[in-house]
């Protein structure tokens, strides 16, 4: 699909608009899209400053792999304080992905390892093609996850599976990844971006407030005690249904002017 407009954020992060879907590309293929500090900051800036009318986003990687994780060539001797601020910089960037204005769909292929998996797990939907493989080599490199992986990955696959991946260096293939919840979609080799763009285009037609509620309320409700969660849900439901857009869409269905739910 030809993009409507294209703009380069930095040489390593490209932003292309497909209508109201922003497509963000990690463009450092010679280094397998390894995330150096400049790239992490560019990702943060990109997701904090998506064009105003963006309704959904896709993130993918150029070349043979989605992302090889932290750029190990930048791993210097840091003291404890510097190490903490480095990790916090990653947190800010990946929070900008997860807690921004619009849902983000990750299109995965090849290596999704270390910080690459941390980035993928900050997205709202993951589409993996058959070439995808996942690993957390931090354990074997003598380091620890620092980009939010300790929080986000167990939410996808549970503490036990993450523990196994880090203790043993286990590499999870695309089929197993879908089975255990690392991706929600598994597609033929070479088609993850197309599928992710289809999904994002569909997501972009939802009421923006519903998408926002899903991104921001649903994960919080999941962490609340049930009674608090039910109360938050009631508040969110009442706000969403009060919008003119919700009223118009419900009316359109009742008048037979909106699509029915259909078997896929």
Is 65 among the residues that bind ligand 1HE (CB under 6 A)?
A: yes
**Minimum distance between the CB of residue 214 and ligand 1HE, rounded to whole angstroms?**
27
Is 146 among the residues that bind ligand 1HE (CB under 6 A)?
A: yes
Distance from C-alpha of 132 to C-alpha of 234, rounded to nearest angstrom: 39
Is 82 among the residues that bind ligand 1HE (CB under 6 A)?
A: no
**Minimum distance between the CB of residue 125 and ligand 1HE, rounded to whole angstroms?**
22
Q: Is 138 a catalytic residue?
A: yes
Distance from C-alpha of 158 to C-alpha of 144, rounded to nearest angstrom: 17
Distance from C-alpha of 39 to C-alpha of 33, rounded to nearest angstrom: 9
Which residue bears the tokens 């009742």? 254
Is 100 among the residues that bind ligand 1HE (CB under 6 A)?
A: no
Give the residue nearest to ligand 1HE (CB).
114
**Minimum distance between the CB of residue 192 and ligand 1HE, rounded to whole angstroms?**
17
Catalytic residue among 62, 82, 118, 255: 118
Is 238 among the residues that bind ligand 1HE (CB under 6 A)?
A: no
Would you say how long the chain is, in residues?
Answer: 264
Find the part of the chain contacting ligand 1HE (CB under 6 A) among 18-26, 70-78, 185-193, 200-208: 70-78
3-state secondary structure of 99: coil
**CB nearer ligand 1HE, residue 31 or residue 155:** 31
Contact 116, 91 (CB under 8 A): no
Contact 113, 140 (CB under 8 A): no
Contact 109, 189 (CB under 8 A): yes
* CA R_g for the chain: 19
Strands 104-108 and 125-129: parallel
Q: Which residues are near ligand 1HE by CB under 6 A?
A: 31-32, 34, 64-65, 68-73, 90, 111, 113-115, 137-138, 141, 143, 145-147
Q: Which residues are catalytic?
A: 118, 138
């Amino acid at each position: 699909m030809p993009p409507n407009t294209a703009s380069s954020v930095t040489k390593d992060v490209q932003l292309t608009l497909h209508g109201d879907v922003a497509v963000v590309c990690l463009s450092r293929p010679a280094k397998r899209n390894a995330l150096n500090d400049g790239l992490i900051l560019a990702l943060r800036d990109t997701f904090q400053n998506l064009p105003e009318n963006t309704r959904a986003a896709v993130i993918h990687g150029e070349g043979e792999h989605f992302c090889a994780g932290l750029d190990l060539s930048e791993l210097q001797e840091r003291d404890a304080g510097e190490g903490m601020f480095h990790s916090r910089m990653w947190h800010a960037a990946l929070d900008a992905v997860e807690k921004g204005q619009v849902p983000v769909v990750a299109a995965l292929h090849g290596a999704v390892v270390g910080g690459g998996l941390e980035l993928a797990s900050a997205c709202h939907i993951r589409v993996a093609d058959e070439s995808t493989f996942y690993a957390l080599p931090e354990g074997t490199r003598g380091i620890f996850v620092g980009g939010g992986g300790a929080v986000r990955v167990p939410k996808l696959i549970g503490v036990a599976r993450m523990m196994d991946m880090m203790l043993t260096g286990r590499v999870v293939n695309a089929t197993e990844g879908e089975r255990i919840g690392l991706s929600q979609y598994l597609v033929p080799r070479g088609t993850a971006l197309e599928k992710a763009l289809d999904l994002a285009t569909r997501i972009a037609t939802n009421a923006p407030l519903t998408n926002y509620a899903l991104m921001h309320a649903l994960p919080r409700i999941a962490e609340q005690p049930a009674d608090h969660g039910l109360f938050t849900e009631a508040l969110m439901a009442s706000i969403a249904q009060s919008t003119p857009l919700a009223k118009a869409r419900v009316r359109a269905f009742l008048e037979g002017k909106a699509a029915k739910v259909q078997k896929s």
